[in-house]
């Protein structure tokens, strides 16, 4: 293998983009070059390293074991280089922090208060990603993330913010039509169910000691914002996370049907990429989130 001084930085960057997208054509579009130029740069890099980085089969493209290892090692280094270089644009040092937050948490709870941080830290650029990835997973490209975990992750620094608490809600008219006798709901009670928590209503019923109608109509939706919108329009009862939905309650578009809440077995955690823990901008945003969103145990 040749010395590191002879390795093309441009080739490494092209390799990372192609590996991320799994496509030379998409990499070419991202880098504003031709697919043949991408192929040529990858081939030159493979020759420089003396290793095969991709397995090619027709239109399919997959990393080899060596290619995957190189991507895992090189990607964070190139991202740090981009961050440092961006800090010198227009003659000013700037910093950038990427945070991934689940969509409902981001739109209803995090982003509305983010202006407080940016006003106090004008030199820090914030990139908010709202991928709705599964719980227990920190996106590899993010410096920080807010995700649901049953237990704190063992491979990355993390801080618990608060448990997932869900309140039974509906529109004001829906609540007016609600009838309860003893501990049993006797009026029509269509249920809005989030696909990721199909048993939540059964769990709430058991915890609250309130019996649901046996033949309730069920509507399943994939996003919490869709759940809340459906509840707002009177389509059914929804279990929504608090305090994330507090703005909806203040507006009066949805109201709590019962005071009993479901406390789930997961909590929101602020997770930090272990390679970025010492970056001042990351530490600033992390400290602000803990001060403004973490509940006392």
- Please name the residue ranges forming H helices in 87-151: 103-105, 111-120
Which of 136-150, 158-172, 239-253 has the lowest average pLDDT?
136-150
Instruction: Round to whole Å and give the CA distance between 3 and 48.
Output: 9
Domains of the chain (ranges plus CATH)?
4-86 (1.10.10.10), 94-162+267-293 (3.40.190.10), 164-264 (3.40.190.10)
Q: How do beta strands 158-170 and 237-242 pair?
A: antiparallel
How many other C-beta atoms can be found within 10 angstroms of the C-beta atom of residue 21? Answer: 15
Q: How far is CA 43 from CA 8, 54, 72, 78, 127, in A?
A: 12, 10, 19, 20, 33
Percent of the chain topping pLDDT 70: 92
Confidence of residue 253 (pLDDT cuts 50, 70, 90): very high
- Look up residue 59 and give its two tokens: 């239109």
Task: Please tell me the predicted confidence (pLDDT) of residue 296.
Answer: 74
Q: Whole-model pTM? A: 0.68
């Amino acid at each position: 293998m040749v010395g590191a001084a002879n390795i093309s930085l441009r080739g490494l960057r092209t390799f990372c983009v192609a590996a991320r997208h799994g496509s030379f054509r998409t990499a070419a579009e991202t880098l504003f070059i031709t697919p043949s130029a991408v192929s040529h740069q990858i081939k030159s890099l493979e020759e420089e390293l003396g290793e095969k980085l991709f397995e090619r089969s027709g239109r399919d493209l997959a990393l080899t074991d060596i290619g995957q290892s190189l991507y895992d090692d090189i990607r964070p280094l190139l991202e740090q280089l981009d961050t440092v270089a961006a800090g010198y644009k227009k003659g000013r040092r700037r910093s950038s922090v990427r945070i991934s937050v689940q969509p409902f948490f981001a739109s209803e709870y995090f982003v509305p208060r983010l202006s407080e941080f940016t006003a106090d830290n004008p030199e820090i650029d914030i990139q908010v990603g709202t991928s709705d990835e599964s719980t227990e997973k920190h996106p590899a490209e993010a410096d920080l993330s807010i995700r649901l975990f049953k237990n704190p992750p063992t491979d990355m620094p993390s801080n618990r913010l608060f448990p997932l608490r869900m309140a039974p809600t509906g529109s004001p008219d829906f609540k007016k039509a609600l009838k309860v006798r003893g501990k049993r709901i006797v009026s029509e009670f269509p249920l809005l169910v989030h696909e990721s928590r199909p048993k939540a209503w059964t769990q709430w019923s058991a915890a609250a000691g309130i019996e649901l109608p046996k033949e309730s109509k069920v509507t399943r939706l994939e996003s919490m914002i869709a759940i809340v919108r459906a509840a707002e329009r009177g389509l059914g009862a929804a279990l929504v996370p608090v305090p994330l939905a507090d703005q909806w309650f203040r507006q009066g578009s949805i109201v709590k049907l019962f005071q009993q809440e479901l406390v789930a077995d997961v909590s929101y955690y602020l997770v930090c990429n272990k390679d970025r823990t010492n970056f001042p901008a990351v530490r600033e945003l992390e400290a602000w989130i803990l001060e403004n969103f973490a509940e006392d145990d």
